[in-house]
Amino acid sequence: MCDCCSEHKDIYLPEMATITKRRMLNGTELFMHLEMDSGKELEHAPGQFVELSIAGLGEAPISISSSPTQKGFELVVRNVGSLTRAIHKLEVGQKIGVRGPFGSLYPIEQARGKDLVFICGGIGLVPQRSFIRYVLDNRKDYGKVTVLVGTKCYDMRLFREELALWSERKDMTLMETIDEAHDCWNGNVGVVTTLIPKVESDLPKSVVLVCGPPVMYKFVLMALAEAEVPAENIYVNLERRMKCGVGKCGHCQINGLYVCQDGPVFRWSDLAIVPEAI
C-alpha cells in the first residue's frame, strides 16, 4: 500500500536515486554512494537488497553494503553484463532507478550481546559490510567482533582502506587471507576456512554470519560443524536470481522458499530441509 493514500502502488516502478560518490574498489567492482531523489532515506535493514535499473537496459538485484545508521546508501556493482557495464559508466550526479529495499535482515536483535564472527568470501564482504558497520555503530550492544575475509587474489581485494582501519581497531579482530600468494602480500594465504581455527571467540556460543560465492558455503559449513557451532547460530546470505523482488516471478526459489522474501539472510537451521539451498 502507498504511504500517502489507501491506493496500492506499482511494485515494479523504480524511484530515482542520484549517485553522490563513486570509485572503483578493484578492476571489476564499482562502489557507489546514492541518495534517493525523494529526499527520504531508503530505510533498509542490514542484509537487504535493492533492484537497481537503467531504463532500456534492465534491472538487477544488488546487495546494500551500508548500514542504515548512515545517510544515503552504498552499493557495490560488479561489471558482468550489459546493465552493470552501463552502471559502471555512470558519473557522480547521474541518476539510477531503485526499487526496494527487499528481503530479510541480519539477526540484529538475536545477536545482541553475543560474539559475532563474519565469514566473507570475495564479493560476500559487500552485504556483510552492512551488518559489520551497523555493529560498529552500535558497538556496545554486541560482544567480540571477528571478521574473516577471503579473496581469490591480491588484486581483487575490496574495501582495502576500510579493512586497514578495521585491522587497527582494538574493539574488533580482522583476519584476511588470499587464495593465491602474491609478492605484495605478507599475510595469510589459503581459503577462508583456514582462518576459522584462529578465531578467538568461543565459536559454539558465537553468532556466525556467512556470505560468499556458492562453492564456499559447503566448506565453511563443514568447518563450522566441526567447530561445533549449532546451526541455530549460523546465518547465511544467499544469492539467487531475484528478478522481481516481490515473491512473484519464481526465479529465486530454493525449493519452496523465495530468496527475495524469505531471504537473502537465512538461519542455517531453517534450511535443514531445503536441499537446494547450498
Partner 1 sequence: MSVSKLSKEQFGQFVDAMLAAGRKVVGVVAKDDRFQFDELKSAAELRLDYDVTILPPKKYVLPQVEPLLQFEVGGPAQSVMHYDPMILLGVHPYDLIAIRQMDELFSQGEYDKHYMDRRKQITIIACDVARPSKNIFASSMETAVVSDGYDILITDIGDAYLLDVATDKGHALMTYAKGLAAAASADLEKRQAIQEANRTALNKHKLGCKASYLPKLMEKAYNHPVWQEKARLCFSCGSCNQVCPTCYCFDVQDQVNWDLKTGQRVRCWDGCLLENFATVAGNHNFRKDRSSRFRHRLFRKAKYVPEKIGGQIACVGCGRCITACVADIANPVTVYNRLMEEQTLG
| Contacts with partner 1, residue ranges (CB under 8 A) | 1, 8-14, 16, 53-60, 78, 80-81, 84, 95, 97, 213-214, 239-241, 243-244, 246-251, 253-256, 261, 275-276
C-alpha cell read off for 275: 536441499
Q: Which is nearer to partner 1, 57 or 108 (CB)?
A: 57
Element (H, E) at 129: helix 125-137
Contacts of 211 (CB under 8 A, 6+ apart): 119, 120, 121, 124, 125, 127, 128, 236, 237
Tell me the closest approach of the beta carbon of residue 61 to partner 1, in angstroms.
9
Q: Find where cell 584462529 sits.
A: 198
Tell me the closest approach of the beta carbon of residue 255 to partner 1, in angstroms.
7
Q: Which is nearer to partner 1, 4 or 13 (CB)?
A: 13
Find out whether the peptide bond into 101 is cis, omega within 30 degrees of 0.
Answer: yes
Tell me the closest approach of the beta carbon of residue 21 to partner 1, in angstroms.
20
Amino acid letter, residue 110: Q
Q: Which is nearer to partner 1, 145 or 265 (CB)?
A: 265
Q: Which is nearer to partner 1, 227 or 249 (CB)?
A: 249
d(C-alpha 117, C-alpha 206), whole Å: 7
CA nearest neighbour of 100 among 61, 46, 66, 56: 61
With 0-12 / 13-18 / 19 or more C-beta atoms within 10 angstroms meaning exposed / middle / buried, residue 93 is: exposed
Tell me the closest approach of the beta carbon of residue 210 to partner 1, in angstroms.
17
Q: Which is nearer to partner 1, 55 or 184 (CB)?
A: 55
Tell me the closest approach of the beta carbon of residue 154 to partner 1, in angstroms.
20
